């Protein structure tokens, strides 16, 4: 069990640097990924995915895949 005073714990570091949770999430790739995923799903509902339109969800899919891997930079 980690010590709550451990400076490596993100929550303690945030308290020390005074960074708000809202700002943390705004700079995080996870909300962007969820937004892109929701956009892709919305496109599936709105655009009849037939003919050349199959490229649209494919582009959303590979973009989501790239963002999922972007956290390991």
Partner 1 sequence: MASVRGRQRQLSLWGAFAAGTTLGGAATGLGLGVLSGLVSPVPERVRLVLLVVLVLALVVLDALTPRLPLPQRSILIPQEVFARGMARGGLRFGLEYGCGWRTLVPSAAAYLAALFVLLVVPPWWVAVALGAAFGLSRSWAVLLWIGLGSPGWQTFLAGHSRVLERAGSALAGLLLLAAAWARLGG
Q: Which residues bind partner 1 (CB under 8 A)?
A: 8, 10, 13-14, 17, 19, 23-24, 26-30, 32-34, 36-37, 40-41, 44, 49-50, 53-73
State the minimum distance, in angstroms, from the CB of residue 62 to partner 1: 4
State the minimum distance, in angstroms, from the CB of residue 8 to partner 1: 7
**Distance (Å, whole) CA 25 – CA 3:** 25
State the minimum distance, in angstroms, from the CB of residue 12 to partner 1: 10
Residue 30: exposed, middle, or buried by beta-carbon count in 10 A (0-12, 13-18, 19+)? exposed
Considering beta carbons, is residue 4 or 23 the nearer one to partner 1? Answer: 23
Nearest to 59 by CA among 39, 32, 45: 39
């Amino acid at each position: 069990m980690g010590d709550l005073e451990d400076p490596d714990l993100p929550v303690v570091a945030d308290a020390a640097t005074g960074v708000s949770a809202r700002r943390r999430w705004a700079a995080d790739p996870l909300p962007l990924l969820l937004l892109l995923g929701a956009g892709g799903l919305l496109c599936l509902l709105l655009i009849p995915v037939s003919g050349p339109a199959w490229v649209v969800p494919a582009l959303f899919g590979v973009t989501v895949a790239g963002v999922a891997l972007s956290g390991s930079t």
